[in-house]
Amino acid sequence: MQGKIGLEEHFAIPDTLMDSAGFVPDDHWPELEARLFDIHGKRLELMDKHGMEMMILSLNAPAVQAIVDPVKANEIARRANDYLAEQVAKRPDRFQAFAALPMQDPDMAIRELERCMKDLGMRGALVNGFSQANSPENCLYYDMPQYWPFWEVVQKLDAPFYLHPRNPIASWAQIYEGHSWLMGPTWAFGQETAVHALRLMGSGLFDAYPGLKVVLGHMGEGLPFSMWRVDNRNAWVKTTPKYKAKRRIADYFHENFWLTTSGNFRTQTLIDAMLEIGSDRILFSTDWPFENVDHAADWFDTASISEADRVKIGRTNAQKLFKLTNE
């Protein structure tokens, strides 16, 4: 399929590069480093070769979210956003941008989101999970009360918010001790992000701000498969849910969330997601440079779905969600 749009596609600046070290073996690091720094070279060549018209670019992880000093986090976010805006300006027909945000301080995050959306023309924000603020052990999740003014601005700006994974901090990750292979994209990324998303759904956030649009990668971090069980465990016991939200969790998942195919190139999983959330809320992505463009594109172009769904997932859903210019 020609004209695909991807929206979990990463880059790095020198300040954040080493956050991606360790995700590949040492002998592959030079290649990953080159991929992270490149925008207009090999990345664009691969896009041309595999039918990708556009990438919406975002900073690598955890980057800003792991900087415990809020002032420093804000400085790095602004530096990354300014650099990305400069790169997008060179080829706006091929690249657009997500803002990095210093979520350690909700007021700073509001100001940076407004700057990025209004002054730099970005298409939303991508945030790498929880933020550590003032102490490495102080992990902030965005259902917490201090973030609700931030979400009010997100809704006002109609800015899609991509909740991207990061690993849990070491003191909260005892279950992975001795099993480091489970960290990162194998398992911990998805579990950490799924719980964060469920916290948002259960908090009442979407009752207060029903226009919020949240994006999850990797075909929904396992949530489509579990959504029925979340709402129907022990269904014979008639009790009021213990969360603050007014409706079923699945209602918010169906109405406020979009999913991408990033780093999860399996047709069975795609079909499960389509059955749960609908093909109008799924979007193509590759997860470059951590996954290959060819692996994503070759799979998607031949996946056993209808051509109408392929066009929606590959292109038109992204155009609608991110207000990209239609041809």
Query: What confidence score (pLDDT) does residue 233 get?
Result: 85
User: H helices of the chain, where?
Assistant: 29-37, 42-49, 70-90, 106-114, 148-157, 188-202, 205-208, 223-232, 249-256, 267-277, 293-302, 307-311, 317-321
Q: What is the mean pLDDT of residues 279-286?
A: 98
Going from the N-terminus, what domains does the chain have, and what CATH number goes with each?
A: 4-321 (3.20.20.140)
Among 105, 287, 301, 309, the one annotated catalytic: 287
Counting Cα atoms < 13 Å in the Cβ hemisphere of 209 gives: 22
Query: What confidence score (pLDDT) does residue 6 get?
Result: 98
What is the pLDDT confidence band of residue 125, given thresholds at 50, 70 and 90? very high
22, 71, 130, 181, 318 from 113: Cα distances, Å: 30, 15, 17, 35, 20
149, 270, 286 from 10: Cα distances, Å: 28, 22, 10
Computed over every residue of the chain, the mean pLDDT equals 97
Q: What is the mean pLDDT of residues 273-282?
A: 98
Q: What is the mean pLDDT of residues 288-296?
A: 98
DSSP string, 169-205: PGGG-GGGTT-GGGTGGGTHHHHHHHHHHHHHHHTTH
DSSP annotation of 29: H
What is the pLDDT confidence band of residue 326, given thresholds at 50, 70 and 90? low
Of 207-211, 241-245, 295-299, 300-304, the least confident: 241-245
Residue 317 burial by CB count (10 A; 0-12/13-18/19+): exposed, middle or buried? buried
State how far the Cα of 283 lies from the Cα of 191, in Å rounded to an integer: 21
Report the share of the chain in percent with pLDDT over 90: 96
Does 287 qualify as catalytic in the annotation?
A: yes
Kindly report whether the global pTM for this prediction surpasses the value 0.85.
Answer: yes
pLDDT over 50 (residue 311): yes
What is the pLDDT confidence band of residue 327, given thresholds at 50, 70 and 90? very low
pLDDT over 90 (residue 57): yes
Query: What confidence score (pLDDT) does residue 239 get?
Result: 86
